Structure 1
Amino acid sequence: MSGELPPGTRLIELHIARELNTSQGPVREALCELEGLELVVTEPYKGTRVREVTPQDIREAYMVRAMLEDLAGQLAAPYFKGSVATLEKTASAILDAAHRKDVTAYARHDVNFHRLIVEGASNRILLRTWNSLAFEVRLQMWLRRSNINLTTAQEAHWKIIEALEQGDGKRAGELLQKHIFNFPANPSFLLTHIGKMPQTD
């Protein structure tokens, strides 16, 4: 996420184990998990390398995310109806990070906000699929490449909270989908790096 290891960097188990003062077993397991998240790639006779996460990768992941969270909003509305304190607290943390222009904190709290909604849907397949797309990593990469106004971007969370508090799952789902599709506030970034997202208006 920090870019300390750029795409193409070879990841040698023994060297990483020494650096982290551990055995190679946990390192091997971690690399397998990262490969499952499509963040590293392992090739026969070439070893493991950091994989480039392309704008197309991010675009495809976020198109799927929008569909998943539309469903999550619909399913989670009964759970959050009249009880959104946890979401409000997390949204406040997002706002604080936006004011501080702290991309790392913004991404962490933003992903936690959306995960709370997906968990509220009480559908383990939905949650597992959502988790498999590693959104905190992708979001940080997206934010670091863009010129997004974080304070403006976070405003959508409060409308989502309002819909969930009212138990309006249809509206919550629509707002989540629109928020995710339209997240890049800079149109030139959207067209240049991500490709044109479908509109939900």
Structure 2
Amino acid sequence: MRQNLARRAALVDAAIEVLAREGARGLTFRAVDAEAEVPKGTASNYFANRDDLLNQAGGRIYERLRPDDATMKAMFTGPATAARTAELVRDVVERVTAFRTGYLALLELRLEATRRPELRALLTERVSEDVEANVANHLASGLPGDADAIRMIYLAANWLVVERLTLPDVFPKEQAAELITALVERLLQDSP
């Protein structure tokens, strides 16, 4: 397999775009080559097979969704209140929905993972790590809420992202923000 890391990343990013637009059935090496605007046959030189491409796309989405250092630092500044927690959750929802194709591709990968054990294992590991990192970072920040409350917020926020990306008129942006605030306040009302 080829080792040009920039080209490989461009191909995986192209695969994410194809997944989001065409679904898992539309993800072919030819479609990735076309999306990346590279010569036909390029993707097949970089990936052993379609499963390899799917797995790498799953990993790459999480790389691109990972918050930058400034975003992480901001979590540890400001008042340790439910209102600040709601603000941070709203920021996460906005950041994730801004990478629309990535999240839609991730939904496609999750569906595909029901049929592909290797992809299911990869996504299970990545999502579990993400959840536990979110819980650990939240607890370390001193913000109110225990691990269970943070997991519940994670679940609710993820489904809100799905609604915002697939049926945006169900919960318009302003209403979504209000719902996040209400959710966080109710879950954290008894927290220190």
Superposed pair shares fold, TM > 0.5: no
TM-score, length-normalised on structure 2? 0.32
By relative contact order (CA 8 Å, sep 6+), the higher-ranking structure is 1
Q: Which structure shows the bigger proportion of residues in strand conformation? A: 1
TM-score, length-normalised on structure 1? 0.31
Q: Which structure shows the bigger proportion of residues in helix conformation? A: 2
